[in-house]
Amino acid sequence: MANQLRIEFENGEYLDVTPNLFDTRNFERALRNNRHWGELRDNGMRLQAFKAWSAASRLDLIDLTWDQFYEDPHTPVLAVVPTPEAVEDTDDALEVEGVGEGMPTARSATS
């Protein structure tokens, strides 16, 4: 599940959520309503965090507002990252058997 995100909290706990189209739509709506955030291309980290927050809120897994989750410097949230399984799935999808075999290795810059 490449779309699954992990919300990590300062107490060591975490939540794994899978954002859906509704959560992405919520971010687009919030971005339009908060023009001071800037353009979509400038909000990659906010997009990921927002989708995780929206999914967790939709599923009643957290009771933090968006401001408490992301904007408050005392937020209990440490990070929003892809789940380890999502990273593994992505790594496997990028491997192509036989590609790179027999290729000469690069020389050291000090040689």
Phi then psi for residue 90, to 5 deg, are -65, -45
Residue ranges in the chain assigned as alpha helix (H): 21-33, 44-58, 66, 84-94
Both structure tokens of 105:
């290795």
Reply yes or no on whether the pLDDT at 98 is more than 70: no
Please report the pLDDT score of residue 1 as a whole number.
Answer: 47
Q: What is the pLDDT of residues 52-63, one digit of tens each?
A: 999 999 999 999
Kindly report the number of other CB atoms within 10 A of residue 85's CB atom.
Answer: 13
Please enumerate in sequence order all residues whose Cβ is within 8 A of that of 67, keeping only pairs 6 or more positions apart, or say none.
none
pTM for the whole structure: 0.75
